């Protein structure tokens, strides 16, 4: 792996993401979403994807440009997520409609368990036990054990082929700094995939980042792409199409 992780653009960054890939998609409720990388995957045409993300429903207004874009355009075969549908102000979302028709699979997991399944993958831990979900449908078919008098069930680590993450700054060696709440799922996902791709606002030279501020060391990052104004305009144009599509199904 080269020391200089910076690549020429979004399309180069996602060049080897193909049909059937398992994608870890960072972000939480619109914050810290690698929206530009997701756009590039969508435009590349990859399909039959398994996505692992906190949520994939497009938000309560239907205007969030996140993992839901891949669902909207029917590129997703399966989602491992903790919040797949909207339950507030909208009538329906793409994922709910496709799921009810049997067109997409769902592996629902509690949010904390999802984070730990990713962290475990990055730490080389194949599985762990948790009390979360005991007594519910989450526990069906899963191995259980009692620890200190408390019943727990086994959850398996979640690995990805690619992690698409969003950071604020990177140096050329791939060391990443996040901005406030955008940190969320991104750091654990960065460690849990065979190839980690980060979109950032700024790239600096090695040594320019405060080492105390680096959250994801460059050893976990394979590609860094800086988002340009042209990329933002490209996403905005796609966003208009996405919003129109969601409105047509009731969002």
201-216 pLDDT, tens per residue?
999 999 999 999 999 9
Cβ neighbours for 29, distance < 8 A, ≥ 6 positions apart: 54, 55, 59
Per-residue pLDDT tens, the chain, 251 aa: give them: 678 999 999 999 999 999 999 999 999 888 999 999 999 999 999 999 999 999 887 766 566 788 889 999 999 999 999 988 876 555 678 888 899 999 999 999 999 999 999 999 999 999 999 999 999 988 889 999 999 999 999 999 999 999 999 999 999 999 999 999 999 999 999 999 999 999 999 999 999 999 999 999 999 999 999 999 999 999 999 988 888 888 777 65
Give the pLDDT score at 89: 53
The phi and psi torsions of 168 (rounded to 5 degrees) equal -90, -55
Record the pTM: 0.92
Cβ neighbours for 83, distance < 8 A, ≥ 6 positions apart: 54, 55, 56, 57, 111
Q: Where are the beta strands (DSSP E) in the chain?
A: 22-25, 49-55, 76-83, 105-108, 127-130, 144-147, 150-156, 160-166, 169-171, 176-177, 193-200, 202-204, 223-226
- Cβ atoms of 144 and 134 within 8 Å: the answer is yes
Is 10-126+159-248 a domain of CATH 2.60.120.10?
no
Annotated domain spans of the chain: 10-126+159-248
């Amino acid at each position: 792996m080269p020391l200089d992780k910076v690549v020429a653009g979004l399309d180069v960054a996602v060049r080897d993401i193909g049909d059937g890939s398992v994608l870890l998609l960072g972000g939480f409720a619109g914050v810290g979403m690698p929206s530009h990388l997701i756009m590039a995957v969508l435009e590349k045409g990859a399909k039959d994807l398994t996505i692992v993300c906190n949520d994939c429903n497009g938000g309560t207004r239907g205007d969030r440009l996140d993992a839901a874009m891949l669902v909207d355009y029917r590129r997703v075969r399966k989602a491992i997520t903790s919040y797949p549908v909207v339950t507030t102000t909208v009538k329906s979302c793409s994922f709910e409609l496709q799921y009810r028709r049997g067109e997409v699979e769902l592996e629902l997991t509690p949010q904390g368990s999802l984070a730990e399944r990713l962290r475990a993958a990055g730490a080389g831990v194949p599985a762990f036990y948790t009390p979360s979900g005991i007594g519910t449908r989450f526990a069906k078919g899963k191995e259980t054990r009692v620890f200190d008098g408390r019943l727990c069930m086994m959850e398996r680590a979640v690995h990805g082929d690619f992690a698409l993450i969003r950071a604020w700054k990177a140096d050329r060696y791939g060391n990443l700094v996040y901005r406030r709440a955008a940190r969320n799922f991104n750091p654990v996902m960065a460690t849990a995939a065979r190839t980690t791709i980060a979109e950032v606002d700024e790239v600096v030279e090695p040594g320019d980042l405060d080492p105390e501020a680096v959250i994801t060391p460059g050893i976990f990052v394979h590609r860094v792409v800086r988002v340009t104004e042209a990329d933002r305009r490209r996403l905005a144009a796609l966003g208009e199409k996405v919003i129109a599509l969601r409105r047509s199904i009731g969002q």
